[in-house]
Chain A
Amino acid sequence: MRQLQEICGDDNVFWRAEDLLVWEYDAGFDRHPPSAVAVPGSTAEVAAVVKAAHDAGTAIVPRGAGTGLSGGTIACAGAIVVSTARLRRIVAIDAAARMAVVEPGVPNVAVSAAAREVGLFFAPDPASQRISTIGGNVGTNAGGPHALRYGSMVNHVLGIEMVLPNGEIARFGGTAADLPGYDCVPLIVGSEGTLGIITKIWLRLLPLPEDIRTFVAIFPDIDRGARAASAIIAGGVVPAAMEMLDNVTIGTLNAAFDVHLPPDAGSLLLVEIEGLHEETEDWAASIERLLRKNGATDVRSAASAAERELLWKARKLGYAALARIKPNNYLHDAVVPRTRMPEVLKQVNAIAERYGYVIANMFHIGDGNLHPVLLFDARTEPIDRVMEASAEILKVAIDAGGALTGEHGIGLEKNHFMPWVFTAEDLDAMRRARDSFDPDGTMNPGKIFPGGEACADIPTERTKRVLAEGMWV
């Protein structure tokens, strides 16, 4: 502790039980206090903290804004948390190179704002973008609605500076593409803090689109909305974003925002296209035709930038607004092949109904990334049952040829489910990659990989193990 205080300064180290309370949870469900929290103010301080922890054999958990939904920042096994809250500088915006260099604690939206000033934008736009950090976005390979056209973080990270688990500072990638040597950048993106602490990131920026058009298409039910979405993808036009909102979500958004969506709609597609005027003109016509052909009862377009922004604000803050219905929720973000979407959604809703949960579906339908939110009240309803229903949903997605998670990560929440999709050899290959960086396993232990004991004392851990095994394939 004294060492940490010497490195970071007294004010930037927390260890009293009452100070640690705010560090024991993130946006997921699990809680566990770290043994201490260090908030270093420079890469050198991060390196010194990591070195000190490494020498003492103490585990480390990197943490950005703590908006992660899979327990990636929960510190188990006596680990300390290293927060990037003081590393918040935008180091450079290079308009000619279409590149930004930032520190990990910079909020996602700040990069977009800085880029906009020079006619560029940063594509990844997780709904949490006002708060979540670039470091966390890299950690989870964050997506967001516009990942449909532009891809997730991994498509936009050009270089990374990272403090390795032994305290050394290393650099991967950078301004020039395809540097000599193994390219570890895409391995580090999405590694959920298990390979080191990222201290600087080189990001790709893109020219702002000339024209943006946003449509709201109304459907009598979920099935027809899902079929329309599949038809658009099959038609070859890739919208910038395509989101589905179901009836429960529509009701919530109407109550929370001034959006005036038709309250009796069974589902709604929010479709956005971006490009040259001539492109959007062309695509708009074909998308509108497909929407109507597949059962849209109404297709409106946002009349102004303000209206479009309101729609997106409602979509992005919609998750929090669901608390109006029930105080708690549980959600997974499995991905299914897009052709299977309509039937999978039917099964998902049937599971919720069978368990008696109100379900809200508000998700990235364009890339098949489900977000079935089960609503409940943790004061009166057992969490185990919600987890069981959610695991059944995961299973449906996997059986349809899908993936456990599209953007939220595996973390502590889904590591026991990994054997549903990967063999022991597949997982061992991932371990080989991890061990190349962290042979002692001190970086964010207990995450991603199944079977570890690091977080065994977390209350929900037993439930997850039973569910994972019970539905073993």
Chain B
Amino acid sequence: MGLAVAAASHAIDGLEPRDVVSVHSESEVVEVIRGANERSEAIVVAGGRTRLGIGDPLADALALRKQRWPVEAGMHDRATVGGTLASAAGGPSRLRYFHPRDWVIGARVVLGDGTAVRSGGKVVKNVTGYDLTRLWSGTFGTLAAIVELTLKLTAVPERTVTLAIELDIATALAKAAEIHAGGLPIDALAIVAGDAAQSLGARGDALLLVRIAGPVAAVRRLGRALREIVTCRDVGNEVWERVAALPLDSKWTARVAWSPGARPPLEFAGYSAVVYPANGAAYLLRTIDRPTFRRVRDSLEALDGYAVLERAGRDYKREAGGAWGKSRVPLPIARALKERFDPRGVLAPGRMPA
């Protein structure tokens, strides 16, 4: 299993952990968390570059059986399955395969009070009690430390092809909308803009990337259909790893979202970003001044969207009004969940709005 548990005096930004503990079994996790409860310490759970990695070890093992876990979270060589679920990581695979939690059917976790519990099971369809497995998704290790996951897999498609074209951002958005509205089964759709596009070798303003996958004949036909909309060329599928990693490589990253039916309420022109237009989501990659960020956040929140600071300095976050912006869970419920699953508040205190 292998996950690293870092003990920190406080969980927020930039503070050095006092101690870093590597654990290799569920019982060790239980021990560390119980200890933290006794000493009133805080713990931040971190995935390691270990066997839980979605990256190469898992992918290789599955590839032998022509299977895969269809979740692309970026940093393929380092991201862990547990971290991917706990952070509800977004990425190119969201278009066709939706949320990472839909590819997890069972979990073992250790709650904040040190109780080890199991949820779900080994079957793909299961309504035996509450779906706690999915509840853990996106909780960033604040309710429980994930120690084991049972994954749902899917077959590797016979062929996968990525098509790309350089366009100005407005045209790229319009073309992406046209492709999506056509209803063809597109495997991934992204626009990389500004400096980020240039880092992928583009000379123009934006790079529109489309991935198609399936039986050979289907991919051929999809390619033809796409070329009727835009004249795009074949590029290697590896580009997606770099696209997914861009938000993690950046010093400053804001994840923004809006209703996928609406036009993105932002001007991306000349700005470094990864946009997933059909999902109504984008990662902003170049720092903007705080008042501007607040304005962006306000306008998105007014449209039922949000702007979350995924990577930014502590001061920036504070002055921008916090990492999360307006919480969308009723606070009494968020607090009650935190108090009941982590009664002494040892798991990453302050990390989630509660």
Any B CB within 8 A of the CB of A362: no
A175 located at the interface, meaning its Cβ lies under 8 Å from any Cβ of chain B in the complex: yes
B122 in contact with A401 (CB, 8 Å): yes
Could you tell me if A410 and B128 are in contact, using CB atoms closer than 8 angstroms?
A: yes
- A171 in the interface (beta carbon within 8 A): yes
Q: Does B115 contact A (CB under 8 A)?
A: yes
Residue from the list A187, A367, A422 in contact with B125, Cβ < 8 A: A367
- Residues on B with C-beta less than 8 A from A154 are 102, 131, 134
Closest chain B residue to A119 by CB distance?
B183
Task: For the A-B complex with A183-B137, A406-B126 known, give 20 more contacts whose Cβ atoms are closer than 8 Å.
Answer: A94-B261, A97-B262, A172-B329, A176-B280, A176-B304, A178-B90, A179-B257, A182-B334, A186-B134, A190-B127, A279-B215, A282-B158, A335-B126, A368-B123, A402-B123, A410-B127, A425-B115, A430-B129, A433-B340, A436-B337
Q: Which of B143, B154, B218, B305 has the most CB of A within 10 A?
A: B218
Could you jot down 9 A-B contacts, CB within 8 Å?
Answer: A119-B183, A181-B327, A426-B117, A426-B118, A429-B341, A430-B132, A432-B341, A433-B130, A433-B135
Given A97-B260, A181-B353, answer yes or no on A147-B125 (Cβ-Cβ < 8 Å).
Answer: yes
Chain A residues with CB below 8 A from B111, complex form: 429
In the bound complex, CA of A278 to CA of B305 (Å): 38
**A423 and B118 in contact (CB under 8 A), knowing A191-B130, A279-B215, A432-B341?**
yes
Please tell me if B15 contacts chain A, counting CB pairs below 8 Å: no
Indicate whether A409 reaches chain B with its CB closer than 8 angstroms. Answer: yes
A448 proximal to B (CB < 8 A): yes
Count of chain B residues with a beta carbon within 8 Å of a chain A beta carbon: 77
B312 to chain A, nearest CB (A): 15
Q: Is the interface of A mostly helix, strand, loop or mixed?
A: loop
Q: In the complex, what distance in Å separates the CA atom of A290 from the CA atom of B326?
A: 53
Residues in chain A near residue B99, CB distance under 8 A? 177
Other-chain residue from B123, B137, B306 in contact with A179 (beta carbon distance below 8 A):
B306
Please, which residues of chain B bring their CB within 8 A of the CB of A141? 127, 131
Question: Which residues of chain A are within 8 angstroms of B118 by Cβ–Cβ distance?
Answer: 422-423, 426
Asked if B66 is at the interface (CB within 8 A of a chain A CB), the reply is: yes
| Selected contact of A186 from candidates B135, B155, B341, CB within 8 Å | B135
Mark B326-349 against chain A: 1 for CB-CB distance below 8 A, else 0: 111110011011001100000000
Q: Determine the chain A residues whose CB is within 8 A of the CB of B304 once the complex forms.
A: 174-176
Residues 131-185 of A at the B interface (beta carbon under 8 Å): 140-141, 143, 147, 151-152, 154-155, 164, 168, 170-184
Query: What's the Cα separation between A276 and B135 when bound, in Å?
Result: 34
The 8 Å CB contact of B259, one of A152, A170, A175, A181, is A175
Q: How far, in angstroms, from A34 to B6 measured CA to CA in the complex?
A: 53
A34-59 vs B, Cβ < 8 Å mask (1 yes, 0 no): 00000000000000000000000000
Number of A positions contacting B (CB below 8 A)? 86
Q: Mark B41-82, 1 if CB is under 8 A from A, else 0.
A: 000000000000000000000000011000000000000000
Q: Which of A255-288 contact B (CB under 8 A)?
A: 275-279, 281-283
Q: Which of B311-327 contact A (CB under 8 A)?
A: 324-327
A434 at the interface (CB under 8 A from B): yes
Q: Is B258 an interface residue (CB 8 A)?
A: yes
* Residue A467 CB within 8 A of the other chain: no
Complex interface: chain B residues within 8 A of A283 (CB): 215
Residue B279, interface by CB 8 Å: yes
Q: Which residue of B lies closest to A166 (CB)?
A: B332
CA distance A195 to B288 in the complex (A): 41
* Cβ contact within 8 Å between B90 and A278: no
Does any Cβ of A come within 8 Å of B139's Cβ? yes
A434 touches B130 (CB 8 A): yes
- Residue A466 CB within 8 A of the other chain: no
B155 close to A236 (CB less than 8 A): yes
Proximity bits, A222-248, B CB within 8 Å = 1, else 0: 000000000000001110000000000
B328 touches A155 (CB 8 A): no
Instruction: Say whether A236 contacts B329, CB under 8 Å.
Output: no
A170 and B333 form a contact (CB under 8 A):
yes
Task: Decide yes or no whether A403 CB sits under 8 A from chain B.
Answer: yes
- Chain A, 206-223, contact with B by CB distance < 8 Å: what is the 0/1 string? 011000000000000000
Cβ contact within 8 Å between A418 and B221: no
Let me know if A330 is at the binding interface, CB within 8 A: no
Contact of A279 among B214, B261, B336 (CB under 8 A): B214
B121:A421 contact, CB within 8 angstroms: yes
Contacts A183-B138, A190-B131 given; does A426 touch B119 at CB 8 Å: yes
Shortest CB-to-CB span from A244 to chain B, Å, is 15
Task: Indicate if the CB atoms of A96 and B181 lie closer than 8 Å.
Answer: yes
Known: A278-B217, A425-B115. A432 touches B340 (CB 8 A): yes
Residue B296 interfacial (CB < 8 Å): no
| Interface-central residue, B98, B128, B138, B218, by most chain A CB under 10 Å | B128
Interchain CA distance A180-B310 in the complex, whole Å: 11
A407 at the interface (CB under 8 A from B): yes
> Which residues of chain A are within 8 angstroms of B98 by Cβ–Cβ distance?
155
Known: A155-B102, A337-B123, A433-B135. A184 touches B329 (CB 8 A): yes
When C-beta atoms are compared, the residue in chain B nearest to A206 turns out to be: B183
- Asked whether, in the complex, the Cβ of A279 is within 8 Å of the Cβ of B218, the reply is yes
A443 within 8 A of B: no
The answer to whether A176 and B130 have CB atoms under 8 Å apart is: no
Cβ-defined partner of A176 (8 Å) among B122, B181, B217, B305: B305
CB distance from A428 to the nearest CB of B (A): 8
In whole angstroms, how far apart are the Cα atoms of A259 and B10 in the complex? 68
Residues of A within 8 A of B130 (CB): 187, 190-191, 430, 433-434, 448
Contact bitstring A294-318, B, C-beta under 8 A = 1, else 0 = 0000000000000000000000000
B94 within 8 A of A: yes
Check: A369 CB closer than 8 A to any chain B CB.
yes
Is B124's beta carbon under 8 Å from chain A? yes
Which residues of the other chain, B, contact A208 by a CB distance below 8 angstroms?
A: 183
Chain B positions 178-225 with a Cβ under 8 Å from a chain A Cβ: 181, 183-185, 214-215, 217-218, 220-222
- A183 and B135 CA atoms in complex are apart in Å by 7
Q: Which residues of A contact B220 (CB under 8 A)?
A: 278
Residues of A404-440 whose CB lies within 8 A of B:
404-410, 418, 421-423, 425-430, 432-437, 439
Min CB–CB distance A431 → chain B (angstroms): 9
| B280 partner residues in chain A, CB cutoff 8 A | 97, 175-177
Are A436 and B308 neighbours in the complex by a CB distance under 8 Å? no
Contact at B90–A177, with CB atoms within 8 Å? yes
Q: Which of B99, B130, B262, B337 has the most CB of A within 10 A?
A: B130
Report whether B217 and A281 are in contact in the complex, using a CB–CB cutoff of 8 Å: yes
A182 and B259 contact, CB distance less than 8 A: no
Please give the distance in Å from A158's CB to the nearest CB on chain B.
10
Inside 8 A of B354's CB, which chain A residues have their CB?
A: 181-182
Instruction: Chain B residues near A115: list those with CB within 8 A.
Output: none
B281 within 8 Å of A by Cβ? yes
